[in-house]
Structure 1
Amino acid sequence: MTLEEGRRVRLTQDLAIGEAVADEPGAVVGFLSLGAGIEGTVERVDGELPESEEVREYQRLKALFDSYGHTMPTASRERLGAEIAALEPVWTAHEARGARVTVRVRLDNGFVLDGAHQDVLAPL
């Protein structure tokens, strides 16, 4: 899914946001919860989220294998191939999902959700 400025979106999960405190330090009086289904408009796309550790490891091992695999001893090459194969499902899912971004969304109820991961939003 590609999120862009001006696009209408719907919150797909309930979000509990912070704690409200009274004048007395540490006295929690409640918290804000936004229910799934609230709609709003994307005001800004902030940028891509970093890749997972497994995705970075796959990229590192694959580059190593592609560059130096032909010079490695057979046992080392096979072990590296097995490590790459174990990370292949994570890489495939990452490629299918594409880059993940964070956005600023102005919800219809007036609240602004800033730094929201695209995973909790669905386009309308």
Structure 2
Amino acid sequence: MRASRSNRSCCTRRSSPRRRRSFSGWERSARAGRRRRATTSRYEHHEKWDGTGYPRGLKGEEIHLYGRITAVADVFDALGSDRVYKKAWELDRILTLFREERGRHFDPQLVDVFMEELPRILEVRDRYRDELQE
């Protein structure tokens, strides 16, 4: 495990329900012997490129590539999907957020790749869109 750059204790960083859920999901995956990709992605996808994420406050390339990729995919999916508590965002609004958060929330190189590959990503998204969506 990489050392945290944060001065807060490990327990303090895991104090909120969301942070505990991220850590406990990581623990379950690790105990179950899941592959490293799944375990690392689950644990690190809430970290942010600028170091303000959780659970460990990792920054930049301290965040494993799997976690950085999963963060982009997770946010894109979450914002573009209807939820009980919110409507899906329009694509233009999502893309604006990615441009604004490039280098803050997200790895700037991954945002560039995401934008370059957007037509293919949208094709896959549309092909496998939840059947329950109207």
The TM-score bracket by the shorter chain reads under 0.3
Which one scores higher on RCO, CA 8 angstroms, separation ≥ 6?
1
Identify, as 1 or 2, the structure richer in helix.
Answer: 2
TM value normalised by structure 2:
0.23
TM value normalised by structure 1:
0.24
Identify, as 1 or 2, the structure richer in strand.
Answer: 1
Larger radius of gyration: 1
